[in-house]
């Protein structure tokens, strides 16, 4: 599959059954390459987060196929029981709220997943400090999230998402709680990460000001996914 990080074929997601059946996604097919920052857009309730969570092996599709890198992880059923392992090793998640653990320091928050993956405390702390320097918040390593601004907390959340060296970052409205200047700062960081770390980044957003910063727009239309340039 070479440069392709995410490939989705004929993905379907329904909720309910019989008279209560609701089709959310019906036949979505698209791919995202390494090094690409893609915005995923759609009206409220059209399935953006559901689609993101299916790619992230959190929400089970109704049918279709999902490839993550060279691995086919779903084809009308999960092809592995270890979806948690896939999430932990291949995917970094960023959300609208930072979800940092309040009683842990910034450094402890960032090292949590690598240590759960068996990385030593010493090595995970070294890697975490490199990330904190990268995001210009190394001086906050011993601080708690309550001592940081909204923008700083979101930087820590992005550092945490990168701590397991993922191939894919899935960001669900990561700028919704930030002002325009900080939002642009965060999306530029995501773009930099995509290029420098060769990571595929899919970002759910409703903020049209962020579109020009992305390589491509994926739009849910008629329960399918349509790709377009960021200018449209």
Domain boundary assignment for the chain: 35-60+79-228
Predicted confidence at residue 117, as pLDDT, reads 82
Instruction: Measure CA 33 to chain center.
Output: 14
pLDDT at 85 over 90: no
What pLDDT band is residue 200 in, cutting at 50, 70 and 90? very high
In which band, very low, low, confident or very high, does the pLDDT at 101 lie, cut at 50, 70 and 90? very high
| Residue 10 backbone zone (phi > 0: left; psi -120 to 50: alpha; other: beta) | left
What is the tens place of the pLDDT at every residue in 124-182?
A: 999 999 999 988 899 999 999 999 988 889 889 989 988 888 999 999 998 887 888 88
Report pLDDT for 169.
Answer: 94
pLDDT in tens, 185-197: 889 989 998 999 8
Q: What is the pLDDT of residue 2?
A: 64
Q: What is the pLDDT of residue 231?
A: 63
Reported pTM: 0.89
**Would you state the pLDDT for residue 129?**
94
Please return the burial class of 124, using the count of CB atoms within 10 Å of its CB with bins 0-12, 13-18 and 19+: buried
Say how far apart CA 108 and CA 138 lie, in whole Å. Answer: 13
Over 80: is that where the pLDDT of 215 sits? yes
pLDDT of amino acid 8: 96
Please give the pLDDT value at position 181: 87
Mean pLDDT for the stretch of residues 105-111: 94
For the cut 80, the answer to whether the pLDDT of residue 46 exceeds it is: yes
Q: Which residues of 167-193 are buried (b: 16+ CB within 10 A; e: fewer)?
A: bbbbbbbbbebbeeebbbebbebbbeb
What pLDDT score was predicted for residue 142? 95
pLDDT for residue 207: 87
Residue 171 β-bridge partners: 94, 203
CATH no. for 35-60+79-228: 3.40.50.300
Per-residue pLDDT at 201: 96
- pLDDT of 35 higher than 90: yes
């Amino acid at each position: 599959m070479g440069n392709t990080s995410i490939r989705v074929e004929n993905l379907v997601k329904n909720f309910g059954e019989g008279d209560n059946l609701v089709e959310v996604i019906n036949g979505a097919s698209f791919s995202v390459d390494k090094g690409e920052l893609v915005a995923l857009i759609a009206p409220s309730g059209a399935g953006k987060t559901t689609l993101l969570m299916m790619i992230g092996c959190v929400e089970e599709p109704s049918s279709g196929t999902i490839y993550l890198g060279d691995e086919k992880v779903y084809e009308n059923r999960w092809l592995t029981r270890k979806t948690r392992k896939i999430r932990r090793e291949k995917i970094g998640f960023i959300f609208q709220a930072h979800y940092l653990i309040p009683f842990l320091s910034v450094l402890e928050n960032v090292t949590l997943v690598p240590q759960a993956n068996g990385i030593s405390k010493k090595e995970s702390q070294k890697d975490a400090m490199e990330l904190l320097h990268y995001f210009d918040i190394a001086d906050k390593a011993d601080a708690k999230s309550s001592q940081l601004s909204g923008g700083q907390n979101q930087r820590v959340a992005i550092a945490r998402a990168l701590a397991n060296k993922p191939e894919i970052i899935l960001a669900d409205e990561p700028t919704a709680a930030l002002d325009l200047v900080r939002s642009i700062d965060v999306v530029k960081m995501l773009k930099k990460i995509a290029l420098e770390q060769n990571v595929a980044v899919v970002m759910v957003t409703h903020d049209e000001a962020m579109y020009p910063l992305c390589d491509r727009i994926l739009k849910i239309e008629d329960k399918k996914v349509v790709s377009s340039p960021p200018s449209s």
